Amino acid sequence: DAGVIQSPRHEVTEMGQEVTLRCKPISGHNSLFWYRQTMMRGLELLIYFNNNVPIDDSGMPEDRFSAKMPNASFSTLKIQPSEPRDSAVYFCASSLGYGGGSYNEQFFGPGTRLTVL
Amino acid sequence: AQTVTQSQPEMSVQEAETVTLSCTYDTSESNYYLFWYKQPPSRQMILVIRQEAYKQQNATENRFSVNFQKAAKSFSLKISDSQLGDTAMYFCAFEDSGTYKYIFGTGTRLKVLA
């Protein structure tokens, strides 16, 4: 398996532009997580899905952020409009999820480094 | 709410020596899971070791082992025979067994010196 795939790996955009980050989880995994990593705040969970349904989006910073999972093999995290303070590394992770066993190891993608100028 | 604390922002160790990274957590649950992840400069998050709270035996993976003290809510990582490739950020994580969410600590930056 190729692991969790994220695209793009790097994104540079200007303030006010729309940004879309993409994630393909490991086949057969039922849970998908979006994280944001910054020096100031560390690793923050933004939202997670189980069986394509958003379960907890309490970590989404504000209405400018939205996430979708239209099917089991694809998810997007959109920022509209983007601001310089959104600059961070965004990780997607997947796990077997509910019913997956005694624990649920999360497998992380390589991350997308977002820079908003 | 669960919290995870890593009190050592940075550490260094000589190659071939042993180093211990600390992690404490707070929870009211009795069944949960704990993990150590490594993040090298490539920024890829790599699972190092896991511990199930209901198991008293400390987990071991080659040069990596944990000291799990459930009553004290402590979960430290010991790296033996440190290698240059162990240089990375290390994150302790708590898995909420009800929601499968991870709560991460703030990380410890470990540098292995030649």
pLDDT, tens digit, 9 for 90 and up, residues A26-84: 999 989 999 999 988 889 999 999 999 999 999 998 899 999 999 999 999 999 999 99
Burial of A29 (0-12, 13-18, 19+ CB in 10 A): buried
CA distance to partner chain B, nearest, from residue A38 (Å): 10
Which positions in chain A touch B104 (Cβ < 8 Å)? 42-43
pLDDT for position A103: 60
Taking 60 as the threshold, does the pLDDT of residue A102 lie above it? Answer: no
How far A103 CA sits from the closest chain B CA (Å)? 7
CA distance A82 to chain B (A): 23
Name the nearest CA neighbour of B112 among B5, B27, B21.
Answer: B21
- Among A48, A89, A107, the residue with its CB nearest the CB of B101 is A48
The shortest CB-CB distance from B47 to any of A55, A105, A110 is to A105
Judging contacts by C-beta atoms under 8 Å, the chain B residues touching residue A50 are 100
Q: Which residues of chain B lie closer than 8 angstroms to A90, CB-CB?
A: none
Backbone angles phi, psi at B22, to 5 degrees: -95, 150
Kindly tell me if the per-residue pLDDT of A98 is higher than 70. no
Per-residue pLDDT of chain B (114 residues; tens, 9 = 90+): 789 999 999 999 999 999 999 999 999 888 889 999 999 999 999 999 999 888 889 999 999 999 999 999 999 999 999 999 999 999 999 987 777 788 999 999 999 999
Dihedral angle, C-alpha B4, B7, B9, B15, nearest 10 °: -110
What secondary structure, in 3-state letters, does chain B show? CCEEECCCCEEEEECCCCEEECCEEECCCCCCEEEEEEECCCCCCEEEEEEECCCCCCCEECCEEEEEECCCCEEEEEECCCCHHHCEEEEEEEECCCCCCEEECCCEEEEEEC
Contact A93 B33 (CB under 8 A): no
Distance from CA of A89 to the nearest CA of B (A): 9
| Token digits of residue A103 | 């624990």
How far apart CA A34 and CA A67 sit, in angstroms, is: 9
Q: How far apart are CA B91 and CA B46, in angstroms?
A: 10
From the list B43, B52, B99, the residue facing A56 with the nearest CB is B99
φ, ψ dihedrals at A30, nearest 5°: -105, -15
